């Protein structure tokens, strides 16, 4: 079945989501003021997209189970009879947890060992939801702020010096720098994550008080970690008046601001947290997350430390490689997915003569006419479709349109 099908994504109403961008994109009213955090355009069981076929709706998951041939031989051989990627639109209004994801090897090991112990897959303290890795690439649709990887050893020292409330931490850090230890970042971070709650509160209480004053008068810019710490103090107070040690991470990870069209790749082990903005995100089909704070979800420090890469990271901002006019690929090392941005101007067409893998496309600006064989349909902004492996299709726009495509490289 070498065809294309209109699809509709599944909305996830997580509390951190914005209330306008996604409802507007999907053309729905948000009259009860719900947070719309994510649209999932995939076959994941927690929110499969709906596919339109012969005038009826069927979930993409069921459709792929009934018609695995649309995945193509190559994908089935490499990943099994399932879509290897999960494609999303995210609208981050409140910062997400600090997290990292396992390698494929670690995920297989962890998943089957948890299966053996009998922890239900839905349990609060279950770490491995599946046996897959979860590398992620994303492209910003608005100015997008995130934390990504450890700062350099020198930059961490600088930032600790800039915060008077961290005097004790700075002294401890400087002692580590002078020590002959294998991995200084590991020692420092482990200590932060295992510090007593009493000490965490003692350090963060005065910082919270000072920042809340500054924050109220709007003195702090977003390029300062103080801004995000102030937000976290406002939004993430733990029950019982305790402070969240995830706040330390805001200072020791790189604070990155992506402009529209810029992207970044998060491979296994890279600590990260999304802070604010709208993006397109493409990841391996997995839900394996280890969290290190700024969340009410399960935090497992032991697992987090085991799977985190304790290396200084210089954020590699992806601007995309232009492969034809208006078409940019955001290349990564992940074998599971590839993200492409297609810009169409003035009746310019995008021709796909044979999809090399199962593809998912979504219109993020303008309107697009999709032609495939005898079929033709119009997609407005927010409209999406699934193209079977081997299908041919053409996209035409009469104005300026922006389309994002997920595929397997």
Local structure of residue 226 (DSSP, 8 states): H
Conformational region of residue 269, where left means phi above 0, alpha means psi within -120 to 50, and beta covers everything else: left
- 313 by Cβ neighbours in 10 Å (0-12 / 13-18 / 19+) ranks as middle
C-alpha span between 10 and 36 (Å, rounded): 11
In the bound complex, what is the minimum distance in angstroms from residue 100's beta carbon to Zn ion?
7
For residue 263, the minimal CB distance to Zn ion (Å) is 14
Q: Rank residues 82 and 99 by Cβ distance to Zn ion and give the closer one.
A: 99
Helix (H, G, I), strand (E, B) or coil at 309: coil
Window of 67-75, 81-89, 95-103, 113-121 that interacts with Zn ion by CB under 5 A: 95-103
Torsion of CA 324, 328, 332, 334, to 10 degrees: -80
Region label for 50, one of left (φ > 0), alpha (ψ between -120 and 50) or beta (otherwise): beta
Interacting residues with Zn ion between 270 and 299 (CB under 5 A): none
The count of residues interacting with Zn ion (CB under 5 A) is 1
Residue 281 C-beta: closest distance to Zn ion, Å: 9
- For the bound state, the minimum distance from the C-beta of residue 272 to Zn ion, rounded and expressed in Å, comes to 6
**Sheet (strand 393-396) strand order:** 349-352, 393-396, 368-372, 375-379
Least distance from C-beta 268 to Zn ion, angstroms?
10
CB of 136 to Zn ion, least distance (A): 5
Stretch that binds Zn ion, among 64-72, 91-99, 104-112, 294-302 (CB under 5 A): 91-99
Is-contact 86 287, C-beta < 8 A?
A: no
The catalytic residue among 245, 291, 325, 381 is 291
Residue (99 or 332) nearer to Zn ion, CB: 99
Compute the distance between CA of residue 254 and CA of residue 156 in angstroms, rounded to an integer.
Answer: 9
What is the CA angle 387-82-389, rounded to 5? 25
Q: Which region, judged by CB under 5 A, interacts with Zn ion, from 14-22, 31-39, 96-104, 308-316?
A: 96-104
The answer to whether residues 384 and 49 touch, using CB atoms and an 8 Å cutoff, is: yes
Stretch 6-25 residues interacting with Zn ion (CB under 5 A)? none
- Name the β-bridge partners of 8: 50
Query: Residue 334: in which H helix or E strand, if any?
Result: none
Task: List the end-to-end C-alpha distance of the chain, in Å, as a whole number.
Answer: 21
Q: Segment contacting Zn ion (CB under 5 A): 47-55, 92-100, 166-174, 196-204? A: 92-100
* Interacting residues with Zn ion between 139 and 178 (CB under 5 A): none
Helix, strand, coil percentages for the chain (3-state, nearest 5): 30, 30, 40
Cβ proximity to Zn ion, 189 vs 215, nearer residue: 189
Nearer to Zn ion, 295 or 357 (CB): 295
Only segment of 37-45, 97-105, 296-304, 313-321 that touches Zn ion (CB under 5 A): 97-105
Q: Whole-number minimum distance, CB 99 to Zn ion, in Å?
A: 5
Identity of the residue, 272 or 328, whose beta carbon is nearer to Zn ion in the bound complex: 272
> Which of 61, 134 has the CB closer to Zn ion?
134
The H or E element spanning position 7 is: strand 4-8
Rule CB under 5 A: which of 99-118 touch Zn ion? 99
Give the per-residue contact string, 343-362, with Zn ion (x = CB under 5 A; - = no): --------------------
Tell me whether residue 99 or residue 360 sits nearer to Zn ion (CB atom): 99
CB < 8 Å & 24+ apart, contacts of 347-350: 347/396, 347/397, 347/398, 348/396, 348/397, 349/394, 349/395, 349/396, 350/326, 350/394, 350/395, 350/403
Smallest distance from Zn ion to CB 288, Å:
10
Closest to Zn ion by CB, 99 or 249: 99
Stretch that binds Zn ion, among 19-27, 93-101, 207-215, 223-231 (CB under 5 A): 93-101
Is 46 tagged catalytic? no
Give the residue numbers marked as catalytic: 291
List interacting residues with Zn ion (CB under 5 A).
Answer: 99
């Amino acid at each position: 079945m070498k065809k294309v099908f209109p699809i509709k994504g599944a909305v996830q109403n997580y509390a951190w989501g914005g209330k306008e961008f996604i409802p507007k994109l999907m053309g729905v009213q948000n009259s009860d003021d719900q947070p719309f955090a994510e649209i999932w355009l995939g076959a994941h069981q927690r929110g499969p997209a709906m596919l339109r076929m012969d005038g009826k709706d069927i979930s993409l998951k069921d459709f792929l189970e009934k018609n695995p041939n649309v995945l193509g031989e190559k994908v089935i051989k490499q990943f099994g009879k399932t879509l290897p990627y999960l494609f999303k639109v995210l609208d981050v209004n409140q910062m997400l947890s600090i997290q990292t994801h396992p390698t494929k090897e670690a995920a297989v090991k962890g998943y089957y060992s948890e299966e053996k112990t009998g922890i239900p897959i839905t349990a609060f303290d279950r770490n491995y939801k599946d046996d897959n890795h979860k590398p992620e690439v994303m492209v910003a649709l608005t100015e997008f702020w995130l934390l990504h990887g450890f700062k350099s050893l020198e930059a961490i020292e600088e930032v600790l010096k800039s915060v008077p409330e961290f005097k004790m931490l700075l002294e401890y850090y400087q002692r580590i720098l002078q020590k002959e230890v294998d991995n200084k970042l590991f020692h420092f971070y482990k200590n932060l994550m295992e510090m007593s709650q009493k000490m965490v509160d003692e350090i963060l209480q005065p910082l919270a008080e000072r920042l809340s004053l500054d924050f109220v008068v709007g003195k702090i810019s977003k390029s300062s970690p103080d801004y995000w710490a102030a937000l976290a103090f406002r939004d993430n107070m733990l029950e019982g008046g305790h402070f969240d040690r995830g706040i330390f991470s805001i200072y020791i990870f790189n604070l990155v601001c992506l402009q529209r069209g810029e992207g970044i790749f998060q491979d296994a082990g890279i600590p990260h947290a999304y802070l604010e903005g709208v993006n397109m995100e493409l990841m391996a089909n997995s839900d394996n997350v280890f969290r290190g704070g700024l969340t009410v979800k399960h935090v497992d420090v032991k697992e987090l430390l085991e799977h985190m890469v304790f290396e200084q990271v210089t954020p590699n901002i992806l601007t995309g490689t232009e492969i034809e006019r208006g078409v940019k690929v955001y290349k990564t090392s992940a074998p599971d997915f590839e993200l492409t941005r297609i810009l169409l101007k003035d009746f310019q067409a995008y021709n796909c003569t044979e999809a090399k893998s199962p593809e998912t496309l979504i219109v993020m600006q303008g309107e697009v006419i999709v032609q495939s064989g005898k079929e033709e349909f119009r997609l407005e902004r927010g409209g999406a479709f699934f193209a079977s492996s081997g299908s041919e299709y053409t996209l035409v726009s009469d104005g300026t349109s922006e389309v994002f495509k997920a595929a397997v490289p």
